[in-house]
């Protein structure tokens, strides 16, 4: 154990190998739902589920192990929720192939790596106010909850069930937006009731601090749904990865980089850049706060190392065939168990590697929205607590934080909210005569975010 102690600096950080391994296990069972959810979402972009599942796990394994060995942080890495929705749904209307989408993910990862190595990424991260950083976590949490509510059918479009004629414009050539955007779903539907029950189960398990409460809740709901005839049993328990239906060949190295390196793709790259940069920043700050790893200014020391890992994982995502990856907020569950070093992240990564051999066991869950979508709502519940860290009595901080949260949720897009807050923050400081609080990084971010609205893909 002395070599582990020396490499991961266990004693220095007041922990032990046992605590770190337990923390890594806790993080794994808290975020293992991504194995089910990410391929299910990416399937809407025409990406085959079997290979997509292997790609998801591969990136989670490699990214988490690299985070542990290089950055020595107890932070797991996996494909992001939110970014996968942008890849699957946000780019669909543009007629962009999934090969080009993965090319954009790879190029954005390379760009992340470059600006991280030259120090720009860390400089920008340190320029954002503490309140605005915390609002990122709140907004992302509510966004995930909204996706979960919609996927379960608890909330649905107001247009659902309406005759086409009721939504047609006067000349009948187009459909107009309904007066009310969303409405409550069919609460008599067995699948909606199963989803509600699944959410309650997850919440009870989390309240009782049961390790892996989210994953257990998914499994319990799926089993109940299967017994009631709303799902199917797994065809097998064990299967060899990287072969047959689980071969990466259909998607790995199929990215179209050349098709991305043209002016028309700049809005997409700008969008992916901002979404991933800000998601990672919000996550690192959130888990850093949970583990008391932030300095007196609310910054994570040596943030360049975990950001470098994030950039490498993002580039790897494009190569193997999945969405943008980065640090995961569920790492806070392992940190609450006492994890303080990279040994926890290595443990999480190795557990993901082991899960490669049990994909058939979880495969049926990918078609059960009523089973996995409540997990998104639960993650939203866990993330909303960051609102306590927003300076609610200072309008120059509260207004940008509110804009971040509200725009993110009500436009159904993470990047819209993050950019809105970053643009409004210096405006509010100037209007209040507090221009001395504005630094160069904040100005640079505001300008880039304005470019996103002018030339990007706000949607």
Helix, strand, coil percent values for the chain (each to nearest 5): 65, 5, 30
Residue 165 in tokens: 């004629």
Whether residue 418 lies inside any domain: the answer is no
What residues have CB less than 8 Å from 176, skipping those under 6 apart?
167, 168, 169
Q: Given this model, what pLDDT does residue 389 score?
A: 84
Whether residue 99 lies inside any domain: the answer is yes
Query: Using 50, 70 and 90 to split pLDDT, how confident is the model at 1?
Result: low
β pairing state of 77-79 and 325-327: antiparallel
CB count, 10 Å around CB of 198?
Answer: 28
Angle CA(126)–CA(129)–CA(132) in degrees, nearest 5? 120
Q: Is residue 60 within 8 Å of 356, Cβ to Cβ?
A: no
Range of the domain at 377: 2-153+189-388
Whether residue 173 lies inside any domain: the answer is no
Q: Given this model, what pLDDT does residue 216 score?
A: 84
Whether residue 423 lies inside any domain: the answer is no
Q: Given this model, what pLDDT does residue 459 score?
A: 59
CB count, 10 Å around CB of 158?
Answer: 15
Q: Given this model, what pLDDT does residue 296 score?
A: 66
Residue 223 in tokens: 């089993």
Residue 131 in tokens: 């309140």
For 148-184, the pLDDT digits (tens) are 899 899 999 887 877 777 777 777 677 777 777 888 9
Q: What is the mean pLDDT of the chain?
A: 84
Whether residue 159 lies inside any domain: the answer is no
Residue 252 in tokens: 């790995």
Whether residue 306 lies inside any domain: the answer is yes
Cα–Cα distance, 195 to 372 (Å, whole number): 8
What is the arithmetic mean of pLDDT over 419-429?
93
Cα–Cα distance, 231 to 395 (Å, whole number): 49
Percent of the chain with pLDDT over 90: 28
Q: Given this model, what pLDDT does residue 395 score?
A: 96
Q: Is residue 56 within 8 Å of 241, Cβ to Cβ?
A: no
Consecutive H or E run containing 290: helix 266-290
DSSP output for 195-210: HHHHHHHHHHHHHTT-
Whether residue 90 lies inside any domain: the answer is yes
Phi, psi for residue 325 in degrees, rounded to 5: -115, 160
What is the arithmetic mean of pLDDT over 86-96?
70
Q: Given this model, what pLDDT does residue 67 score?
A: 95
Q: Given this model, what pLDDT does residue 192 score?
A: 95
Q: Given this model, what pLDDT does residue 93 score?
A: 59
Q: Return the DSSP state at 178.
A: P
Cα–Cα distance, 153 to 295 (Å, whole number): 43
Whether residue 328 lies inside any domain: the answer is yes
The answer to whether the Cα torsion of 411, 416, 421, 424 is positive or negative is negative
Consecutive H or E run containing 77: strand 77-79
Cross-strand bridge partners of residue 182? 157
Domain total for the chain?
Answer: 1
């Amino acid at each position: 154990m002395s070599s582990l102690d020396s490499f991961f600096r266990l004693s220095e950080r007041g922990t032990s190998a046992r605590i770190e391994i337990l923390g890594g296990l806790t993080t794994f069972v808290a975020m293992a739902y991504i194995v089910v959810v990410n391929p299910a979402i990416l399937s809407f972009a025409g990406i085959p589920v079997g290979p997509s599942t292997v790609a998801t796990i591969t990136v989670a394994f490699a990214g988490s192990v690299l985070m542990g060995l290089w950055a020595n942080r107890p932070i797991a890495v996996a494909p992001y929720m939110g970014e996968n929705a942008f890849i699957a749904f946000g780019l669909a209307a543009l007629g962009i192939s999934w090969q080009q989408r993965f090319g954009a993910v790879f190029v954005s990862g390379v760009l992340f790596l470059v600006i991280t190595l030259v120090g720009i990424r860390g400089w920008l991260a340190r320029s954002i106010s503490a309140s605005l950083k915390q609002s990122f976590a709140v907004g992302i949490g509510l966004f995930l909850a909204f996706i979960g509510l919609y996927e379960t059918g608890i909330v649905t479009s107001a247009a659902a069930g309406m005759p086409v004629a009721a939504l047609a414009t006067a000349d009948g050539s187009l459909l107009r937006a309904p007066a009310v955007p969303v409405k409550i779903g069919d609460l008599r539907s067995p699948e909606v009731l199963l989803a509600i029950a699944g959410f309650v189960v997850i919440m009870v398990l989390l309240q009782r601090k049961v390790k892996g409460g989210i994953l257990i809740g998914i499994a319990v709901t799926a089993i109940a749904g299967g017994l009631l005839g709303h799902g199917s049993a797994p065809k097998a328990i064990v299967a060899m990865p990287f072969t047959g239906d689980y071969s990466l060949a259909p998607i790995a190295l199929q990215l179209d980089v050349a098709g991305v390196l043209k002016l028309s793709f700049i809005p997409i790259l700008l969008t992916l850049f901002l979404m991933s940069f800000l998601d990672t920043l919000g996550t690192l700050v959130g888990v850093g706060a949970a583990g008391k790893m932030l300095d007196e200014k609310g910054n994570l020391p040596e943030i360049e190392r975990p950001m470098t890992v994030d950039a490498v994982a993002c580039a790897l995502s494009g190569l193997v065939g999945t969405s943008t990856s980065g640090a995961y907020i569920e790492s806070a569950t392992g940190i609450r168990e006492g994890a303080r070093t990279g040994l926890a992240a290595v443990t999480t990564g190795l557990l993901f590697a082991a899960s490669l051999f049990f994909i058939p066991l979880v495969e049926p869950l990918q078609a059960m929205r009523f089973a996995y979508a409540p997990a998104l709502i639960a993650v939203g519940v866990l993330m909303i607590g960051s609102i306590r860290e927003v300076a609610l009595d200072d309008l120059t901080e509260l207004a940008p934080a509110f804009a971040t949260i509200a725009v993110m949720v009500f436009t159904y897009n993470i990047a819209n909210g993050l950019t809105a807050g970053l643009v409004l923050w210096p405006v509010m400081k100037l209007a209040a005569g507090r221009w001395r609080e504005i630094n160069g990084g904040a100005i640079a971010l505001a300008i880039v975010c304005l470019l996103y609205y002018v030339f990007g893909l706000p949607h």
